[in-house]
Structure 1
Amino acid sequence: MGLIALAFGFALFSVASAPMTGPRRYNRAKLDAYECGIEPTPQGAGGGKFPVKFYLTAMLFIVFDIEIIFLYPWAVSFNALGLFGFVEMVLFIGTVFVAYAYVWRRGGLDWD
């Protein structure tokens, strides 16, 4: 209960102190978007569109990153879970492997 109160107090303090510690003088340079020293334009350098391959790669990274997030606690408590934990993880890894094989066959891992 004390940790919840501490977290709530910190959040309340952060929100209340932000107007006092934030910037007081606004100008055009501070309000503009910062894009690595390049003047922001309404349309990006390549027409403003990212290739679909970029998003597919990001989604693949998330899928396999989540797999690792589930594998680590399972490996730590492998003995405590017993046969049930082993069967569940085999099913999970099998499902992820099917997704991996599908992406591989469709050419989602080609970097050309």
Structure 2
Amino acid sequence: MPIDYLPILIMLLVAIVMAVVSLAMPHMLGPKIFNKAKQETIESGKLNYGDARRRVPVQYYMVAMLFILFDVEVLFLYPYAVLFWDLKWFGLVQAGIFVLLLVESYVYVWKKGVLNWE
């Protein structure tokens, strides 16, 4: 039985060696020239000014979390769409309940004012 796992062990070892080599090679072969100009952060071809630590409004995080939530929920509808003809009325009722739950959660978020930016 242990001989059956030999290919998996070899593949794991090769992956670890490749990861270590790809991380170590730039440090061993790359130039070691450090100066102030190369250490500056540049965004879109312009030098940064001021402090980079600014507060991000909570609304950005809320919208991002809601996007992930609704995106994953819509992803659950994909199997239904693939098996639409095989599921008949039972699948239609289940998908309808699921979509109603999606709409209910969207209305709840809207009523709570999460989407208001004022």
TM-score bracket, normalised by the shorter chain, equals 0.5 to 0.7
Deviations 1:62-109 (A, max 9, x none): 122112222223212222334443333223222221110011112223
The more displaced of 50-59 and 61-70 is 61-70
The percent of aligned pairs where both chains have the same amino acid is 34
Q: 1:53 to 1:7 in 2, by over 3 A?
A: farther
* Structure 2 counterparts to residues 88-99 of structure 1, below 5 A: 88-99=94-105
Distance between the aligned counterparts of 1:63 and 1:15, measured in 2?
Answer: 36
Q: Which runs of 5+ in 1 are unaligned?
A: none
Shift of 1:17: 2.7
The equivalent of 1:18 in structure 2 is 23
1:16-40 superposed Cα distances (whole Å, 9 cap, x missing partner): 33201344526366666x4624447
* One-letter amino acid matched to 1:19: A
Closer, same or farther: CA 86–107 of 1 in aligned 2, 3 Å? same
Cα root mean square deviation, aligned: 3.5
Q: TM-score, normalised by structure 2?
A: 0.62
Aligned residue for 2:64?
58
**Would you say how many aligned residue pairs link Structure 1 and Structure 2?**
108
> Highest CA radius of gyration, 1 or 2?
2
The CA deviation at 1:58 is: 0.9
Does residue 79 (structure 1) correspond to residue 79 (structure 2)? The answer is no
Q: 1:104 aligns with which of 106, 110, 118?
A: 110
